[in-house]
Amino acid sequence: MRKPYMRIPYTDALAAPTIIPKSANALSGAVAALHEFLVAPSASSPSGRHPSTAVLTGAGISVASGLADYRGARGTYRVNKTYRPVYYHEFLNKHEARKRYWARSFLGWTTLHKAKPNASHFAIKHLNDLGLVQSVITQNVDSFHSQAHPNLQTIELHGYLRSCICISCHEELPRDTFQDELARLNPAWDAFLREILALGALDTEDPDERHARGMKTNPDGDVDLPGAPYTTFRYPACPRCLTDPPLTANGVRATVEVDSDGAWVPTSTAGILKPAVVMFGESIHHSVKAAAEKMIDDADRLLVLGTSLATYSAWRLAKQAKDQSKPIAIVNIGGVRGEDAFFVDLDPNQKGNQGARVEISTDELLPILVEQLRSSNVQATHEAPDYVAKTQGGSIFKDMLS
Ligand SMILES: [Zn+2]
């Protein structure tokens, strides 16, 4: 049996990259290399059409939308030393862990909800319009890809924060609706959220800075409100399980109980909602894994954007492309896990058609690449208007969301 893809945090330092080809050190050289990468004929693509490219993205491409990545200069692991994600087994088994998670998530949601896709997401849409990119696999849970290019087939490898899902019956509930319920069940937290939003304390991920802006936190980085510590935080039960309690594995009807306001109580044996993301320590659903692998199988090449491939699930997809002898290009600030192996057999004189490694931010690079492809002889195969992005949100606390 093949190993399941388990999502785990990876915090080891990664070696600095070797830029490929050398000319890709400068912006113009990087654009030229990626142009070559995307349009050069490949062995597997029939003549008369562009080779098809799958794109694999990570947190780096959402930085320009105000979301922190993990390992960048302002990344979560560098800025917030108290960062500790909740693991799936803790969330599943401990009422206390769920209260802590939802209290943090309650504070973080407003800022994420305001954030919008950026130039990188729209550039990917335009590469699809030009007939060059056919599929996207993202590790991001922010839903920016589906907002920027709803018609381009996209797999969200680690799920999405826009919904909650019931652990018992798998019914989904919009995160917005859930947020309203959290506000109703926790009025002191709701008042506090409004206060810190007004003070700008949620515009930074730095614990000292947010403390200075009026955020009250204990040494673990948790918010504790006087009279309403997070241990008193309440969250709703799955509405469907509440109305119609499911059968448990041994055929017994589950118990789903709530307090007088509708908050889930620990005498319940079902009806727990979780974010619709693959939490750390949780396996990726086999259908999602299989669909992502098929995207790699179907593509002629792989373009990796804004990820260090630190999670096994993402690294494994790049390895699959390499094992199939498909050209790989990587655009990421900072090192990428095992990247030397992806470029080891390249002709030193190749100009990007066999592979490229660029260290420039995607929101700077990709729009210029799209412009250059448009002004050369690459014709759009179809063109749809862009979704209009509004104002960007502030930084997001990873520890409140993952
Ligand atoms: Zn349910």
Convert the pLDDT of each residue in 227-267 to its tens digit. Answer: 778 889 999 999 999 999 999 888 999 999 999 999 999 99
Domain 1-77+117-158+284-402 has CATH 3.40.50.1220: yes
- In this prediction, residue 388 has a pLDDT band, given cuts at 50, 70 and 90, of very low
What value does the mean pLDDT take over residues 10-35? 91
Please write the tens of the pLDDT for every residue from 118-158.
Answer: 999 999 999 999 999 999 999 999 999 999 999 999 999 99
- In this prediction, residue 394 has a pLDDT band, given cuts at 50, 70 and 90, of very low
Crossing angle between the packed helical segments 27-39 and 362-375, to the nearest 10 degrees: 60
Residue 392 predicted with pLDDT over 50:
no
Please write the tens of the pLDDT for every residue from 37-52.
Answer: 999 986 655 556 678 9
The strand ranges marked E within 313-359 are: 328-331, 355-358
236 DSSP β-pair partners: 263
What's the 39 CA to ligand 1 centre distance in angstroms?
48
Residue 196 predicted with pLDDT over 90:
no
DSSP code string of 194-258: HHHHHHTGGG---HHHHHHTT--B-TTS-BEETTEEGGG---BPPHHHHHSPPB-TTSPBP---B
- In this prediction, residue 366 has a pLDDT band, given cuts at 50, 70 and 90, of very high
Distance from C-alpha of 274 to C-alpha of 234, rounded to nearest angstrom: 14
Q: Give which of 383, 337, 246 is closest to 58, Cα–Cα.
A: 337
Distance from C-alpha of 243 to C-alpha of 140, rounded to nearest angstrom: 33
Residue 69 predicted with pLDDT over 80:
no
Residue 211 predicted with pLDDT over 50:
yes
- In this prediction, residue 199 has a pLDDT band, given cuts at 50, 70 and 90, of confident
Which residues have CB under 8 Å from 162's CB, separation 6+? 143, 174, 175, 276
What value does the mean pLDDT take over residues 176-193? 95
What's the 36 CA to ligand 1 centre distance in angstroms?
50
Six-digit token string for 109: 């949601």
What's the 38 CA to ligand 1 centre distance in angstroms?
45
Judge whether 164 is annotated as a binding position.
no
What's the 88 CA to ligand 1 centre distance in angstroms?
17
Q: What is the pTM of this model?
A: 0.87
Determine whether 95 is an active site residue: no
Q: Of 121, 145, 149, 158, which residue is the catalytic one?
A: 158
Residue 396 predicted with pLDDT over 50:
no
- In this prediction, residue 399 has a pLDDT band, given cuts at 50, 70 and 90, of very low
Provide the residue ranges of all domains of the chain, joining segments of one domain with +. 1-77+117-158+284-402
Residue 160 predicted with pLDDT over 90:
yes
What's the 269 CA to ligand 1 centre distance in angstroms?
11
pLDDT mean across residues, the chain: 87
Residue 377 predicted with pLDDT over 80:
no
- In this prediction, residue 164 has a pLDDT band, given cuts at 50, 70 and 90, of very high
